[in-house]
Structures are given as structure tokens and as C-alpha cells.
Structure 1
Amino acid sequence: MSSAIEHFSRRLRFETDVSDVRSLLAAGTPGVVVVDSRGDEAWRQGRIPGAVHLPTAEIAERAVSVVPAGSAVVTYCWGPGCNGATRAALEFAKLGFDVKEMIGGYEYWVREGFAVWDENGEWSRPADGLTAPAGTACGC
């Protein structure tokens, strides 16, 4: 039993989901910086409003000049089939940041119907019934 408690506690300590990140951003939670670790082309395709663009390969060199010291960092990349957010979170952890990976990534942000930004402004898709509840909360 204690192994299971430790396992799931660790996961919750280092992972978050798109709904929780959206709630943090909507509440204006101070000290939270959401980092899009994808490349330039992906960034232009669409991103989470308020996210900072910092590709994984540039984190070691640029993080301290882009992310304020003491910030709680949330990394994201494309989606569950991509481990870019994991690699980005590792780079932030090496620099001493408090960091979590946003599971589901950009894909699930979009699939849950949340707003994104690109060069044309804000847009969203209808929520995908396989990833988002019919109502306003999943109840989990």
C-alpha cells in the first residue's frame, strides 16, 4: 500500500493536467510560468495563451533570463505521444526550478476546447467528447 501511495503522490507532485493548468491561468495564480517547449513552427501553429516559448534545446542557456527565479514552471509539448515536455521539465529541474509536466500537452488543451493563440488571434475548437466532459467539469 505504501508503495502505491508513494508512486501516485510523486506523479501528482511532478505532473498536472490541462484542466488544472487552465484553472491556474484563469485564476491568475502568481508565480506560475507555462512553457511551450516546441520549436518555432509549432509555436506559430498555436499555443496556450500566456505561455512562454522556450524550446527544449534552449532551456539550459536561456531559462534564467526568461523565467523569473522562484517560479513554478509547467512544461508542455505536443501531446501524449511526445516526450518533449518531459525532457523540458528535466532541464528545468537541473536548473533548480520547481517544475511539473502538463500531461496531454497542446493536443489535449485543444481537444478539451480551450482557447489557443496563433498569428491570427485567439481560436478554439469544440470540445472532443472523448477527452472532455459534456458539462463543465469531469467530476474527478
Structure 2
Amino acid sequence: MSSVLRFPPVSSQQSLAYLETKLAYYTDAWDLAEDLAQQVSEIVVIDARSAEIYRAGHICGAISFPHRIMDEASTAQLDHSKLYVTYCDGIGCNGSTKAAYKLATLGFQVKELIGGLDFWKRDGHPMAWGNAPGEWPGAISTTGDAASCGC
């Protein structure tokens, strides 16, 4: 018997519902980079790692907000109309999940960045160093050429 077919596939409608839900929880580096390059103002990127690690290199435009200090008081200045995209080091780290969880419990809309900073760097997207979020260097290509993932 087929290992793949041991568990029969669900209907296309069940797949559609699952995949729509999955996309509502996550974004990837290419989609986020495209939105940052286009200066989409409804999105705020949060680096959920420690401030020290943030200074050593972070997503260009991300703010430092360690998940360990997130609570009602520390998030009071955040805008509830924004979508907060959280990230940490990568798939071996759950700091972005903890940050998204804390923000969601406080009523914020959140998504996690798939693969975190590891996938961001792997794809060659802009980085910044130091305490400041950094300025986006310019527009990225979204036409499927060598600067695109081809998705």
C-alpha cells in the first residue's frame, strides 16, 4: 500500500479551508519583503529576540520588542489597527510564537514569519544593525526574475 495514500486525501473544499486558515497565520520572507519595499503601512514587523541579539542584525525596518517583556503595559503604545508580524531566529526557535501568542491574547492581529531571520537571510533580503530599525534600501523585483523566489 502507498505510504502517501495510507491516509486518504481530504476533499478539495477541506483543503481550501485548511490552506486559507494556514495562510492567515503565517507569511513568508518574500511576501513580507515585498510589502516592506512597498511601504505597506498596515504591517509592523517585530523582532521578538533580545535587544542585544537585535542589535547584532535584524530585518530592515523591524522594531525590537522581546517577547519576554510583552505585557499589557509594554504593548499600550501599539496600534490595534495594525498587523504585527513576529519573528525570531528560525524554525528552531519559538520566540516568534510566544510573541504572537502574547500579542493575540492582548487583542492584536498577528502573523508569524515562516523560517524567521534564518530564511530572511537565506533569501538575501535587507538587514540592519544597531538599535534603529533601519531604512529599506529600495524596491525589490516581484516579476519573477533572479531577485524573486519564483513563487
Shorter chain as normaliser: what TM range? 0.7 to 0.9
Q: How far apart are residue 134 of structure 1 and its match?
A: 8.0
Alignment partner of 1:62 is 2:74: yes
> Which residue is 1:138 aligned to?
149
Q: How far apart are residue 87 of structure 1 and its match?
A: 1.3
Q: How far apart are residue 120 of structure 1 and its match?
A: 10
| Higher share of residues assigned helix | 1
In structure 1, C-alpha distance between the alignment counterparts of 2:94 and 2:37, rounded to whole Å: 26
| Higher share of residues assigned strand | 1
| Paired amino acid for 2:105 | K
Structure 2: give runs of 5+ residues left out of the alignment: 1-10, 135-143
Q: 1:8 to 1:50 in 2, by over 3 A?
A: same
| Paired amino acid for 2:54 | W
Kept after mapping to 1: 8 A contact 2:88/2:95: yes
In structure 1, C-alpha distance between the alignment counterparts of 2:45 and 2:117, rounded to whole Å: 12
Q: Deviations over 1:63-94 (max 9, x none)?
A: 222x2231111000000111111111111111
> Which residue is 1:130 aligned to?
none
> Which residue is 2:8 aligned to?
none
| Paired amino acid for 1:48 | I
Q: Deviations over 1:84-116 (max 9, x none)?
A: 111111111111111100011011111111121
Higher RCO (CA 8 Å, separation ≥ 6 residues)? 2
Q: How far apart are residue 136 of structure 1 and its match?
A: 2.0
Q: 1:38 to 1:22 in 2, by over 3 A?
A: same
In structure 2, C-alpha distance between the alignment counterparts of 1:39 and 1:33, rounded to whole Å: 18
In structure 1, C-alpha distance between the alignment counterparts of 2:145 and 2:94, rounded to whole Å: 29
TM-score (norm 1): 0.83
Q: How far apart are residue 43 of structure 1 and its match?
A: 0.6
The percentage of counterpart residues that share the same residue type is 36
| Paired amino acid for 2:49 | R
Q: Deviations over 1:10-44 (max 9, x none)?
A: 11001000111111111011121100000122111
Structure 1: give runs of 5+ residues left out of the alignment: 123-132
Alignment partner of 1:46 is 2:53: no
| Paired amino acid for 1:64 | A
Aligned pairs for 1:82-121 (under 5 A) are 82-119=93-130
Matched residue count: 129
